[in-house]
């Protein structure tokens, strides 16, 4: 039986099995053989690690002398799975990575597929995408505020944040059919048009949010305990952000107004009027204030998107790409409606065969590779897709902001108190589903 340096192997009835471990725990302990130092494991299942994240902390008293993050506990193999699915089916995988920003993943993936195809979604579909992403950005930032509040002991922040997030998820469910993992944005457009009362529902959501957002300032912004827990904690200046590739609110809190919606616009963002909030404080409190202000800016964009929504198709007029073509959902919200099935089967045998082949085999995408980034709630979310001209991707690789931003954790935490590690991680707002994918 052969052995490897990095993994022990044993033979089983199902073949050879390798046991892969972190392997360096003993070395870490040896490294910390000092009278005054102790090494502790925080996580991976811990109420204050913002998800299944493991932190190995070396402490001297309550001061962190060394911090390492250990990831991979939520690995799902989504990137690899996409290679075994059609281009359209890939949407249902990528939407499950960063589960707090599913619509940003869907959009970035679809924009990359469309770039390979050399097509553009119709104007109405592009505006719908913008509106859905901004509603999603609001719901994601609310979770950042809510979970950050919970981890720092402010339970009212948690209950308030999740209360407002419910409003956003109810709206997304009404518009797309699902609260999360929507698979609503598809290559070529969106799955179906918005419901008839979309304007009234979205306007009602904006009204509720505008009424409740000032409460966060009353509850948290001026609150001395909250301010003291976050001010000058998790400090990361702009040069450190650039060296580590940090993007999103963490980079903007250090003073650089880098937002892909402004710097490299997509989906017509250049025609929307909104601000990119920044700060030069570069601490956890600045990131909290920034996310709160970004919610206000997202509401502005949603209002403008409502005004820009003009009648028109929501899917490209190409029968070889548009799947599902002019779909109507059944009463259970899942399958095709009976009228839709009757229509397909009643047109002709050829159209039925075409529909069947399009759904089972998928469409072909010209050979090539692209990289398309969008501004997710956590920073630059980019998709690198490679096609060999077939009906499935050869490679799907994601530049995931949670994965990159977590590199900042040691720089933010070392030299500070162990209690401040929690505030620093909360201010990064990593989503481990995206990080591990």
Answer whether 336's CB lies under 8 Å from 345's CB: no
What's the pLDDT score for residue 127? 93
Helix (H) and strand (E) counts in the chain: 18, 10
Q: Residue 130 has what pLDDT?
A: 94
pLDDT computed for residue 380 by the predictor: 92
**Residue listed under structure tokens 């929690």:** 422
Residue with tokens 């956003």: 168
Q: What is the mean pLDDT of residues 250-263?
A: 91
**Residue spans per domain, the chain:** 7-70, 78-323+362-436
- CA 290 to CA 325: how far, in whole Å? 41
Report the CATH superfamily, name and number, of domain 78-323+362-436: Cytochrome-c3 Hydrogenase, chain B (1.10.645.10)
**Among 83-92, 93-102, 329-338, which stretch is predicted with the lowest mean pLDDT?**
329-338
- Judge whether residue 1 has pLDDT over 50: no
Average pLDDT over residues 112-123: 91
Look at residue 44 in the predicted model and tell me its pLDDT.
Answer: 83
In our burial notation (b when 16+ CB lie closer than 10 A, e otherwise), range 62-83 reads: eebbbbebebeebeeebbebbe
Q: Is 180 exposed, middle or buried (0-12, 13-18, 19+ CB in 10 A)?
A: middle
* Element spanning 371, H or E: strand 368-376
Cα R_g (the chain), whole angstroms? 24
Q: What is the mean pLDDT of the chain?
A: 86
Q: Are 73 and 426 in contact (CB under 8 A)?
A: no
What single DSSP character describes residue 14? T
Q: Is the distance from CB of 102 to CB of 182 less than 8 angstroms? A: yes
Under 8 Å between Cβ of 92 and 73: no
In this prediction, residues 76-95 reach a mean pLDDT of 90
The SS3 of residue 153 is coil
Higher pLDDT, 77 or 25: 77
Per-residue pLDDT, 23:
58
| pLDDT tens-digit series, residues 21-59 | 655 656 666 665 666 788 888 878 888 888 888 888 888
State how far the Cα of 234 lies from the Cα of 292, in Å rounded to an integer.
18
Helix (H, G, I), strand (E, B) or coil at 10: strand
pLDDT digits (tens, 9 = 90+) for 379-427: 999 999 999 988 899 999 999 999 999 999 999 988 888 888 999 999 9
- The confidence score (pLDDT) of residue 345 equals 67
pLDDT tens track for 287-306: 999 999 999 999 999 999 99
Strand, coil or helix: 393: coil
Distance of alpha carbon 52 from alpha carbon 63, whole angstroms: 23
């Amino acid at each position: 039986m052969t052995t490897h340096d990095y993994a022990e192997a044993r033979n089983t009835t199902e073949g050879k099995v390798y046991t892969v471990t972190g392997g360096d725990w003993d070395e870490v302990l040896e490294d910390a053989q000092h009278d005054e130092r102790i090494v502790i494991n925080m996580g991976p299942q811990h109420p204050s690690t913002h998800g299944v994240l493991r932190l190995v902390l070396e402490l001297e008293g309550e001061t962190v002398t060394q911090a390492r993050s250990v990831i991979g506990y939520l690995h799902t193999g989504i990137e690899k799975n996409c290679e075994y699915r059609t281009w359209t089916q890939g949407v249902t995988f990528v939407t499950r990575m960063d589960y707090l920003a599913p619509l940003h993943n869907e959009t970035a993936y679809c924009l990359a597929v469309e770039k390979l195809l050399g097509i553009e979604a119709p104007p109405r579909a592009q505006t719908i995408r913008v509106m859905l992403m901004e509603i999603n950005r609001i719901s994601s930032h609310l979770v950042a505020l809510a979970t950050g509040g919970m981890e720092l002991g402010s339970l009212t922040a948690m209950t308030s944040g999740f209360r407002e997030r419910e409003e956003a998820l109810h709206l997304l469910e009404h518009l797309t059919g699902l609260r999360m993992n929507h698979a609503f944005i598809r290559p070529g457009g969106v799955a179906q048009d918005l419901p008839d009362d979309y304007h009234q529902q979205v306007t009602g959501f904006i009204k509720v949010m505008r009424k409740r957002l000032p409460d966060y300032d009353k509850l948290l912004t001026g609150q001395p305990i909250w301010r003291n827990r976050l001010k000058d904690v998790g400090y990361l200046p702009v040069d450190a952000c650039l060296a580590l590739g940090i993007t999103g609110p963490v980079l903007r809190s250090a003073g650089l107004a880098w937002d892909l919606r402004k710097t490299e616009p997509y989906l017509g963002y250049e025609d929307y009027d909104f601000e990119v909030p920044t700060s030069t404080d570069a601490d956890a409190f600045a990131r909290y204030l920034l996310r709160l202000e970004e919610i206000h800016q997202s509401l502005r964009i949603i209002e403008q998107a409502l005004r820009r929504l003009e009648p028109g198709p929501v899917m490209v007029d190409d029968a070889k790409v548009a799947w599902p073509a002019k779909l109507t959902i059944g009463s259970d919200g899942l399958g095709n409606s009976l009228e839709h099935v009757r229509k397909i089967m009643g047109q002709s045998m050829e159209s039925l065969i075409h529909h069947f082949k399009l759904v089972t085999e998928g469409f072909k995408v010209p050979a090539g590779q692209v990289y398309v980034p969008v501004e997710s709630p956590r920073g630059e979310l980019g998709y690198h897709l490679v096609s060999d001209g077939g009906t499935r991707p050869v490679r799907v690789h994601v530049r995931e902001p949670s994965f990159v931003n977590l590199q900042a954790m040691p720089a933010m935490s070392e030299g500070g108190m162990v209690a401040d590690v929690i505030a620093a991680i909360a201010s990064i707002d990593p989503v481990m589903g995206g990080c591990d994918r």
